[in-house]
Amino acid sequence: MADSTSSDPRIVTEFLNGARMRMRQGRLSLKTERAYLQRMREFVEFHGGKHPSELTGEDVGAYLTHLAVDRSVAASTQNVALNALVYLYRNVLGVEMPQATGVVRAQRSKRIPCVLTQDEVRRLLEHMSGETHLMASLLYGAGLRLAECLDLRVRDLDLEKRTITVRDGKGGKDRTTMIPAKIVPALQVQMGRSKLLFDLDRRLDRPGVALPGALERKYPNAGKEWPWHWVFPAETLAADPRTSTQRRHHVHEDRLQRAVKKAAKAAGIAKPVSCHTLRHSFATHLLEQGYDIRTVQQLLGHKDVRTTMVYTQVMVRSGMKVRSPLDD
């Protein structure tokens, strides 16, 4: 990796390739890897292609301020950029990042999450079918994030006990949540479909599914075992973005996102509905039913109960807890 100042794009590319290799050695998720590389590239290009080892704390602060002031990014985006730079200096260059100075912090928005009524959830699901209906039912019925639903493996479901183990969720935490009783038959059918694709891959001696963390090195054949297979496998094979190996992945997130948007429009729901709206609705409806906030916190996998508290504001704003004097 070059140490001298250079605006040569080949030097930048070489530098980023080295960062990518280090992140893959560290087993960062593909999503995190892409986000960090984007911010690292921006940081280098913002400073005219200078190598980060030549930059000061003022330079770091100037880039972060540029994001907040000139780009008007959200506070979370600025935090991702900061984390990317900390990783860059600490794990790629092997030094501590210079103390950022003069940083203008992006303002953290205090938005109330969009929540559907139970009738709106019913109408939404009525306009969905098949696999996407089942996935949307899990987002709402178990409070899953989109990625958590897609990442489900056979071993994560216990249909007899009606529980889901969410592994390595946000923040690297595992948790357990429920499987709604009414979708157990549909999940059994889905497992049968998944088994057909699994058996096809084994007959054709195809590579196994990708495994999390360092498990693929530790247990090289585990990806060919049924417990590790996807609950929602894709119909066709695709190249692994890390290794270029043709293997079976889970269904792409765009499929469910498009299906939810289409169903919301067909149901006449005049709200900005996304997959995450179903998770928000899960939490709010549990609180409305009288479940205590600590229980809801555990089901959602929130580290801090203050994150869960936002749903109590949704309840108040929707009139669930406060009666208008006009109604009297």
Hey, which residues are catalytic here? 145, 170, 276, 279, 302, 311
Q: How many CB atoms lie within 10 A of CB 49?
A: 15
* SS3 assignment, position 18: helix
pLDDT, residue 325, reads 62
Residue of higher predicted confidence among 186 and 241: 186
4 pLDDT tier (thresholds 50, 70, 90): very low
pLDDT, residue 326, reads 54
Alpha carbon distance 18, 40 (integer Å): 12
321 pLDDT tier (thresholds 50, 70, 90): low
Q: Rounding to the nearest 10 degrees, give the CA dihedral for residues 27, 29, 33, 39.
A: -130
Mean pLDDT over residues 51-61, rounded?
Answer: 92
Residue 204, pLDDT > 80, answer yes
Tell me which residue of 57, 59, 75, 55 sits closest to 67, measured CA to CA.
75
Point out which residues pair with 163 in neighbouring strands.
Answer: 158, 178
Concatenating the DSSP letter of every residue in 101-137 gives -SPPPPPPP-PPPP---HHHHHHHHHT--HHHHHHHH
pTM of the model: 0.82
Q: If 0-12 CB within 10 Å is exposed, 13-18 middle and 19+ buried, where does residue 260 land?
A: buried
Residue 280, pLDDT > 90, answer yes
Mean pLDDT over residues 98-125, rounded?
Answer: 89
Domains belonging to the chain, first-starting first, are 9-93 (1.10.150.130), 118-317 (1.10.443.10)
Tell me which residue of 83, 72, 85, 79 sits closest to 44, measured CA to CA.
85
pLDDT, residue 1, reads 36
Alpha carbon distance 26, 67 (integer Å): 27
Tell me which residue of 196, 183, 184, 192 sits closest to 133, measured CA to CA.
183
Mean pLDDT over residues 61-67, rounded?
Answer: 95
19-45 per-residue burial string, b: 16 or more CB within 10 A, e: under 16: bbebbeeeebeeeebebbbebbbbbbe
Alpha carbon distance 160, 302 (integer Å): 26
Mean pLDDT over residues 7-32, rounded?
Answer: 81
Average pLDDT of the chain? 89
Mean pLDDT over residues 164-174, rounded?
Answer: 85
pLDDT, residue 2, reads 37
DSSP state of 91: I
Tell me which residue of 200, 244, 242 sits closest to 224, measured CA to CA.
200
Structure tokens at 326: 């006009």
pLDDT in tens, 216-271: 778 888 999 999 999 999 999 999 888 889 999 999 999 999 999 999 999 999 99
pLDDT, residue 160, reads 95
pLDDT, residue 6, reads 47
Alpha carbon distance 286, 54 (integer Å): 53
